[in-house]
A and B are shown apart, each in its own frame.
Chain A
Amino acid sequence: MTTTADRPASAPQLATTGTGSARSRGGERRRQVAWVAAAVVIIAYALIPVLWILSLSFKEGDDINNQRFWPSALSLENYRIVLSSDIFLTALRNSVGIAAIATTVSVVLATLAAYAVARLEFPGKKVILGSALAITVFPIISIATPLFNLWRTVGLYDTWLGLIIPYLSFSIPLSVYILSAFFREIPWEMEQAAQVDGATAWQAFRKVIVPLAAPGVFTAAILTFFAIWNDFVFGITLTSTEAARPVPAALAFFSGASQFSQPTAPIAAASVLVTIPVIVLVLLFQRKIVAGLTNGAVKG
């Protein structure tokens, strides 16, 4: 991503008039302050709802009714409740397992497809890209309800595999776009050079392109994980018990279960726990995620 280079560029134009320069330097400082203020507002916008749910998760007993943003005392009671609840723990195991398998398979299949799309000439390429695009915009519920019928008849209803399969279909298109954009920017001559030196197309792919493409693949994996981790529609339509129900779906049914005297605070604690992996990934890989989203969607 290109950094902004506009500030230095305005210098020569200002050098001609002394007064203009002085005034502009004051304006420059004011403008800097304005940018900082804007940035702080945006950061607050992004984080306040997260801080709120975090704060709720620390409220114990009647403290939940204090109607204030912050808790009066920090209590880990809600976390204890959630972490000793089978509903949450099995859901968490389902989410982690399903997301790990689906992300891995999805990214492998998408990587192969994206390589073909970006590098090879073959009939039907447009069909592949067209259907990928169609799927990304398709209303998920329109697929989930017929899958509900189909899965019941073939025995995939309420199983891990029953969720993994639709997750693949809906995450592959995004990865194909992100990765084919990455692959197009990899120096093509290097692969040709390898082929001139006697490597087959497959060897050229494995030895030359894979190492260069690894960062892109990694980014695609993070975004795929986010999408799967976030899923709710498939999670509630294609499961009925703890056998496969992932966390977002389990969270939505927490309230109805009435296992807890007042589920609000435990739900907040569970919400915080499912948000932790997201925050960790964002903190570690901010640059990659931004690059992946902007690259895959607009360019390519």
Chain B
Amino acid sequence: MSTTVPAAAGEVTDDLAVIHHGRPRLSDRARHERRLGWLLAGPAFIVMVAVTGYPILNAVWLSLFDYRLTNPDGREFVGLGNYGMILSDGLFWRQFGVTSAITVVTVAVEFVIGFALAMVMHRALVLRRSLRTAILVPYGIVTVVSAYAWQYAFTPAYGFVNPMLNLDDYNWFGSTVPSVAVICLSEIWKTTPFLSLLLLAGLAQIPEDYLEAAKVDGATAWQRFRRVIMPNMKAAIMVALLFRTLDAFRIFDNVFVMTQGAQGTETLSFLAYRQTISRVQIGLGSAVSVILAVLVVLIAVMFVKGFKTNLSQQRG
């Protein structure tokens, strides 16, 4: 992982400018480059944007109608009526609360565990290979499988957790808080490795001299962590937290498999699914989808503003 060549493309344009004496008119080569650029990137761009852009615009449009798939003739323009109905519904706010709680809890726990994992992966010389291989298993595993594994472990009839904790036949899926807790456990187990690998990349970029210097100056391990490691990893931490937060906020698979939204564990993604697919309330479901998308954009904006780092600069 050597350092990246900054703005490699820019250097070449400069070279060309020198060769062609000045830059006002585009040289043949530069024009060729422009055309080739879109020729190569165009197909990917179209696939990305057409398949996401059109549906989302379509969803915005449909969200303005009272439209049920089973009654297409009864389709009626209601303006922002669906939004009003959703936002004034206590159930929506409850689901918003559940989703937010899952997001905050999982990301916070994952950040702590993920940082510890990254430190161990960075420092441990023994078992280095096994460690990294093991950590990739949860990352790669199918979320539905993870959900089943955790659900079965906590099921009173055949799980090993209750006997282990002397809980007899305590039903984890009988009320909201324990159900959400098990959902969080599965989510945390599955996604912490991703977060820790992003943090590991940040750790690897801190020059060892900084840590050595701090050590020589008598800084404790905690001081080195707070004053040297954290500030130098700001970008990696932001990217890791941002990606995990947005990912956690759209949690769906674990909820679907473990509870089907029962016991008040329904999240916003699940609500959008249930309205559109199960109840074929296309108008209402589309409105939920749009609200969810807007919330995700808001979170992203808050994050980037909060960290005062320009994401596009980070990601090049």
* A residues neighboring B (CB under 8 Å): 1-2, 4-6, 9-10, 13, 32, 35-36, 38-40, 42-43, 45-47, 49-50, 52-53, 56, 64-69, 109-110, 112-113, 115-126, 128-133, 135-150, 165-166, 168-170, 172-173, 176-177, 180-181, 184-185, 188, 192, 201-202, 226, 229-230, 232-233, 236-237, 247-248, 251-252, 264, 267-268, 271, 274-275, 278-279, 281-283, 286-287, 289-291, 293-295, 297-300
Contact = CB atoms under 8 A, between A and B. Distances in A.
B308 interface: no
* Shortest Cβ-Cβ A-B pairs, 4 listed: A122-B37, A294-B201, A113-B44, A146-B55
Interface stretch (B75-83, B103-111, B141-149, B171-179): B141-149
20 contacts: A35-B126, A39-B120, A40-B127, A47-B137, A56-B152, A68-B163, A129-B312, A135-B52, A137-B242, A139-B292, A142-B56, A145-B286, A148-B276, A149-B282, A150-B54, A185-B2, A268-B148, A294-B197, A299-B201, A300-B4
B4 A46 contact: no
Given A116-B39, A123-B34, A278-B137, 11 more contacts: A53-B148, A112-B44, A113-B44, A115-B40, A137-B246, A145-B277, A180-B316, A184-B316, A232-B252, A233-B253, A233-B269
B143 A282 contact: no
A282 B202 contact: no
A42 B208 contact: no
Contact of B159 (A67, A146, A170): A67
A54 to B, nearest CB: 9
How extensive is the interface on chain B, given as a class?
Answer: 35 or more
A1 B135 CA distance: 17
Contacts of A36: 124, 126-127
Contacts of B290: 142
Contact of A120 (B37, B133, B146, B150): B37
B131 A39 contact: yes
B158 A64 contact: yes
Given A13-B216, A109-B47, A133-B315, A202 B41 contact: no
Contacts of B112: none
A144 B270 CA distance: 12
B243 A297 contact: yes
The listed residue with most B CB atoms (<10 A of its CB), out of A112, A126, A274, is: A112
A185 B163 contact: no
A43 B145 contact: no
A49 B189 contact: yes
A131 B286 CA distance: 21
B144 A112 contact: no
Given A47-B134, A49-B150, A185-B4, A278 B140 contact: yes
Contact of A290 (B13, B39, B132, B285): B132
B134 A132 contact: no
Contacts of A295: 1, 201
Interface in B270-309: 272-273, 276-277, 282, 285-286, 289-290, 292-293, 296, 300
